[in-house]
């Protein structure tokens, strides 16, 4: 509880609440203040809840908060399963009610904000069924449902875009770069158009180039389709092989599936499971418990130094030697010929029990491996698509590397197994030697007892101890059995009383249900009649549907034949047109070659003229300047002459052969 309060106080002191509480202040808040804090947290999740508690009636507050908590899928605690007590706790501002709500809300504020936002659009309005019979209301409600589904789809797309990692800046840069590339391509296309327009028959050439490009694209698409069909064929073959293998296995299993074999197999499985449950698993559980107890004991003890460790080692050695000597003495005192005969059977029983335990462990490991393999196979089938079934190069390399690693591991395990077998042989030989020594000691002990006249003393003493131990154990079992039986009788009596009291209302309901059963019998009879009518109608419709499907299939086959004829005739006409165009192309080629030769001669003449112009450029520029000066001089004389004519009333011009004179 203290951890819960600490978390609530820490979250309320952070953004956006900033309450500056401590544990004492928060714990000493009044109920109305605690309700206001809960309302503030709900307002942070849904802004519509931003209301002052003092200005609202308690019933309205409880109704508003419970509706919002129900929409947010808040679950009541185990100790408060009654809704009325929960609402009463909200009204009174009980800490036992409000603290868990605050803890739950503050743990998942972002998720709850998102859920509250979506609930505004996804919680459907409940319209009574009698209003839906109106056409306008029904159409409006269907439009409302379509809008809700559209909102779901758009919200999913928006979330996918948010989590996809794309940024607007990168998209804008890409758009600007694509626009620049578009402008460059447009300019390039315009330049190419200008260059092509000067060539005769450029439209026909463009058309042929377009057809060539389309045929290449078609060829690429056909190649892709061919590769896809090859992959699909390979996958289908693999599926067929797997299905055949499964069919073979099922047939083999079905061949032996007689009642006796199934019963035998089930009995074996029951025996194995019984052994696992009654013997193996309890032993493992007990060993684990002992290990845990020992580890807890070791962990609870203080740290030990080097001197303590040496002391413990000395104590262990001394106790070990003492126990060994005691066992040797007991063994020397025992001389039971029946026990000597039973030792072989005991050894065999211990060997069989060890083998049984090892086989049970191997069976458990095999079952776990099978379960993990089946789970992994299901996951791969669910994650992989049909196109991903083909093994690629990288995956093949990984598989090869994995197989190599497993091969090396198998070799190591095999070597360890051979070493263990060799060690087992040594231990078996040691056991045989010790058994021989033990038999010799037993013979000596029997001879000593015969000499002293007390033959069979050790065996008799051991038998008496064993019988006394068995007697005490049986007495304890009898006492426990009587106590258990008395407790069981008490439990059974109490259970009988409880069951009778519990069955009383059920018996009453059973009587009412029997009355209903008579009504349902009539309804079931009517249902059988309606069902026979429906099946007859369905059979007639099914026959009509099969006839229509056959007609549609025949029409589709006829349409496919007609399409094949149309494509064949169209391709033959295109071939004829191309052949005629090729014959005209050879004639045009000669004209083009002749025009090219004439244009080359003309270009040669123009280059020579350009060379002459470059050589005489400076002299021509000077001559051009002189002509311009002469032109200006002539224009000046012309203006003077015009001016003299206009001023003829003031004076006259005297012209002589040598000079012109103006007399005023």
Q: DSSP per residue over 566-622, as a string? A: HHHHHHHHHHHHHHHHHHHHHHHHHHHHHHHHHHHHHHHHHHHHHHHHHHTHHHHHH
**Confidence band for 581, pLDDT divided at 50, 70 and 90:** low
DSSP 76: P
* Two tokens, residue 329: 């003495």
- pLDDT-derived band at 657 (thresholds 50, 70, 90) equals very low
C-alpha dihedral, 468 to 474 to 476 to 479, nearest 10°: -140
Distances 496 to 33, 136, 482, 486, 491 between C-alpha atoms, Å = 52, 62, 21, 15, 9
Residue 65 and residue 88 in contact, taking contact as beta carbons nearer than 8 Å: no
- According to the model, what pLDDT value does residue 664 have? 39
pLDDT in tens, 309-349: 777 788 887 777 777 777 776 666 655 544 555 666 667 77
pLDDT of residue 655: 47
Q: Please, are residues 97 and 86 in contact by the beta-carbon 8 Å criterion?
A: yes
- Bridging pattern class, strands 652-655 and 660-663: antiparallel
pLDDT digits (tens, 9 = 90+) for 479-530: 677 677 767 777 777 778 887 777 778 877 877 787 777 777 778 788 888 8
Residue 660 phi/psi, 5° resolution?
-105, 140
In terms of average pLDDT, the best of 439-448, 458-467, 556-565, 624-633 is 624-633
The predicted pLDDT at position 80 comes to 53
Give Cα 398 to chain centroid, integer Å: 22
Both tokens assigned to 371? 């379960």
The burial of 457, by beta-carbon neighbours within 10 Å (0-12 exposed, 13-18 middle, 19 or more buried), is given as: middle
- pLDDT of the residue at 387: 45
- Residue 149: the pLDDT is 85
The answer to whether residue 196 scores a pLDDT higher than 60 is: yes
Q: Which residue has the higher pLDDT, 338 or 431?
A: 431
Q: Is the pLDDT of residue 224 over 80?
A: yes
pLDDT of 578? 65
CB–CB of 72/54 below 8 Å? no
The alpha carbons of the chain give a radius of gyration, in whole angstroms, of 53
Residues 88 and 102: their CA atoms lie apart, in Å, by 17
pLDDT for 650: 47
Percent of the chain with pLDDT over 70: 84
389 pLDDT higher than 70: no
More confidently predicted of 570 and 302: 570
User: DSSP class of residue 315?
Assistant: H
Q: Tokens representing 28?
A: 């000493």
Q: Cα–Cα distance between 534 and 28 in angstroms, integer?
A: 72
């Amino acid at each position: 509880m203290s951890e819960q309060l600490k978390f609530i106080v820490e979250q309320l002191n952070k953004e956006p609440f900033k309450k500056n509480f401590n544990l004492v202040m928060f714990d000493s808040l009044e109920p109305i203040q605690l309700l206001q804090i809960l309302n503030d947290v709900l307002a942070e999740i849904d802004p519509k809840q931003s209301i002052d508690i003092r200005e609202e009636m308690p019933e309205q507050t409880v109704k508003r908060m419970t509706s919002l908590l129900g929409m947010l899928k808040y679950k009541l605690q185990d100790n408060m399963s009654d809704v009325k007590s929960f609402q009463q706790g909200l009204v009174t501002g009980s800490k036992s009610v409000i603290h868990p709500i605050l803890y739950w809300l503050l743990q998942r504020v972002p998720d709850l904000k998102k859920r509250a936002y979506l609930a505004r659009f996804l919680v459907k309005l409940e319209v009574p069924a009698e209003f839906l019979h109106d056409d306008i209301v029904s159409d409006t409600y269907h439009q409302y449902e379509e809008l809700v589904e559209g909102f779901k789809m758009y919200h999913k797309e928006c979330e996918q875009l948010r989590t996809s990692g794309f940024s607007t800046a990168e998209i804008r840069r890409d758009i600007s770069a694509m626009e620049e590339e578009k402008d460059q391509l447009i300019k390039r296309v315009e330049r190419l158009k200008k260059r092509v327009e000067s060539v005769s028959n450029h439209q026909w050439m463009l058309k042929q180039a377009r057809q060539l490009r389309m045929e290449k694209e078609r060829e690429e698409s056909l190649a892709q389709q061919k590769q896809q069909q090859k992959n699909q064929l390979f996958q289908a073959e693999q599926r067929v092989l797997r299905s055949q293998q499964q069919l073979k296995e099922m047939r083999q299993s079905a061949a032996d599936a007689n009642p006796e074999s199934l019963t035998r197999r089930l009995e074996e499985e029951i025996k194995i499971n019984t052994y696992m449950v009654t013997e193996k698993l309890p032993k493992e559980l007990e060993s684990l418990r002992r290990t845990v107890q020992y580890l807890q004991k070791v962990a609870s003890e203080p740290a030990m130094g080097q001197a303590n460790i040496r002391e413990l080692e000395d104590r262990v050695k001394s106790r070990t030697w003492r126990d060994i000597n005691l066992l040797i003495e007991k063994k020397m005192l025992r001389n039971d010929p029946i026990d000597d005969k039973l030792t072989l059977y005991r050894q065999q029983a211990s060997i069989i029990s060890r083998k049984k335990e090892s086989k049970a462990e191997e069976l458990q490991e095999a079952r776990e491996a099978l379960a993990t393999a089946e789970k992994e196979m299901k996951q791969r089938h669910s994650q992989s698509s049909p196109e991903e079934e083909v093994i690629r190069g990288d995956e093949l390399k990984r598989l090869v590397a994995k197989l190599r690693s497993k091969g090396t591991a198998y070799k190591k395990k095999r070597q360890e197994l051979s070493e263990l077998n060799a060690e087992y042989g040594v231990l078996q030989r040691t056991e045989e030697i010790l058994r021989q020594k033990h038999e010799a000691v037993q013979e000596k002990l029997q001879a000593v007892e015969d000499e002293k006249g007390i033959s069979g003393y050790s065996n008799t003493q051991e038998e008496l101890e064993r019988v006394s131990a068995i007697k005490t154990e049986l007495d304890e079992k009898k006492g426990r059995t009587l106590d258990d039986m008395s407790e069981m009788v008490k439990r059974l009596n109490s259970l009988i009383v409880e069951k009778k009291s519990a069955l009383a209302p059920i018996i009453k309901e059973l009587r009412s249900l029997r009355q209903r059963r008579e009504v349902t019998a009539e309804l079931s009879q009517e249902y059988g009649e309606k069902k026979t009518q429906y099946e007859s109608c369905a059979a007639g419709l099914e026959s009509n549907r099969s006839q229509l499907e056959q007609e549609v299939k025949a029409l589709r086959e006829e349409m496919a034949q007609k399409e094949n004829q149309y494509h064949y005739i169209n391709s033959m006409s295109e071939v004829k047109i191309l052949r005629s165009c090729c014959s005209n192309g050879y004639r045009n080629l000669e004209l083009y070659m002749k025009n090219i030769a004439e244009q080359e001669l003309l270009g040669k003449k123009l280059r020579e003229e350009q060379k002459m112009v470059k050589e005489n450029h400076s002299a021509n520029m000077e001559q051009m300047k002189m002509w311009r000066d002469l032109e200006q001089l002539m224009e000046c004389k012309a203006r003077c002459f015009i001016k003299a004519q206009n001023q003829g009333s003031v004076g006259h011009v005297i012209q002589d052969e040598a000079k012109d004179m103006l007399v005023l």
